[in-house]
Amino acid sequence: MGDREEISKQFLGTFEFQGIKRRDFLKFCGATAALLGLSESFIPKIAAAIEKASKRPPVVWLNFASDSGCTEALIKATYPNAADLVLDILSVDYNETIMAAAGKQAEEILQNSKKAGDYILIVEGGVPTKKGHGMIAGKEMLDILKEFSGPAVAILAVGSCATFGGVPAAKPNPSQIIGVTEALKKVGVKKAVVNLDLCPVNVEYLVAVVVNYLLLGKLPELDSFGRPKMFYGQTIHENCERRANFDAGRFVETFGSNEEALGYCLYKMGCKGPMTYSACPKVMYNDRISWCVKSGGPCIGCAEHGWPDKFAGFYERLPDVKLPGIQATADKIGAVAGVATAVGIAAHAIATKSSGRGKGEKEGGNK
Ligand code: SF4
Ligand code: SF4
């Protein structure tokens, strides 16, 4: 058994694995094809690419300045679950948060991975650049990044902290934390980085990028921020299930209100969906059960460069959001719709009174 297989065995020992059913595997391939924008005819090709891969791509996962929320998202992902992910697609050789080994043994595993090379380097967390503010085993995180970026075949920055600094880099940023792309430039490493923004990373995005690499032998097309266009090409607002309410001027004004119960638009509660690029409404979280807006919370824009400072405070309205083709802000449209609705309600009330109906009846709540 080679070093890499031994490493993987140790890593896998931290999970209680179960057999993967063929049907589930094909379901996963189908979902991945959809994510990649491929037709169903690609499902067998994706399955073959994963099954016939001579070896699963080895992964070295480094944790820097963050709360390890992306690692948590990985191990709690239900679809694909961690077992599917690790056994079928990736060989996660090193992730200090969840691997069984610790201390000297973990350090040896990391060094062995570097010696073997050709791994996918996944970085979680921002990179502190102030000396002494981010150390692991006596080394600066910035130096560790430089050391392990060299032998990597691809570098993925996962989660908002790794992409552009995220929460740890928020003002006043005493540790002078920066994202992976900027950190690599600082230490003179010229390598492309795939930025998977979001807090935490959506594991389906991560897996789709790796499958894309297995299938086509290259990383997906990136936007000017290094993000895969297939996931960051449209705003939340474009695909939001509450969009019809926005267009009609139906807004939630207060949490706990009737309007909230009716699923009206959350723009006035601070939703940053109109300025945030990510496929959250399509891919969702938790086995595609829900996502922020669906569960009742305004999008706080965690997929965007410069977050969270750019969008603080989270419950403040974005200024000057225009409705498509209409030169007015949502506030104005909301007010106009409110007047129209109020007229409608008054007319309805008169009609109801004159017809003798209406005892205990509740009105909808357009604003
Ligand atoms: S403002 Fe937010 S809640 Fe309203 S439609 Fe846009 S993304 Fe959805
Ligand atoms: S909906 Fe907005 S806040 Fe929620 S994960 Fe997506 S970008 Fe982040």
C-alpha distances out from residue 178 to 95, 127, 137, Å:
21, 5, 21
Tell me what pLDDT residue 36 has: 77
Residues within a 6 A CB radius of ligand 1? 236-237, 240, 242-243, 246, 265-267, 271, 273-274, 293, 299
User: Hey, what are 199's tokens?
Assistant: 């807090």
For residue 135, the 8-state DSSP code is: E
Residue 130 φ/ψ, nearest 5 degrees: -85, 125
Q: Cα 99 to the chain's mean position, in Å? A: 23
Measured in angstroms, how far is the CA atom of residue 333 from the centroid of ligand 1? 15
| First vs last C-alpha separation in the chain | 68
pTM listed for this prediction: 0.79
Region 309-317 average pLDDT: 92
**Is pLDDT above 80 for 335?**
no
**Is pLDDT above 80 for 326?**
no
Element containing residue 94 per DSSP (H, E): strand 91-95
Helix axes 43-52 and 203-216, enclosed angle (nearest 10) = 80
Region 158-178 average pLDDT: 97
**Is pLDDT above 90 for 70?**
yes
Q: Which residue has the higher pLDDT, 326 or 267?
A: 267
Tell me what pLDDT residue 41 has: 81
Measured in angstroms, how far is the CA atom of residue 304 from the centroid of ligand 2? 9
Residue 366 near residue 359 (C-beta atoms within 8 A): no
**Cβ neighbours around 134 below 10 Å, total:** 24
Residue 228: which of 210, 245, 249, 215 has the closest Cα? 210
Tell me what pLDDT residue 224 has: 93
Region 286-315 average pLDDT: 93
Residue 4: which of 145, 119, 156 has the closest Cα? 119
Classify burial at 83, counting beta carbons within 10 Å of its beta carbon; exposed 0-12, middle 13-18, buried 19 or more.
middle
pLDDT, tens digit, for every residue of 176-227?
Answer: 999 999 999 999 999 999 999 999 999 889 988 888 887 777 888 999 999 9
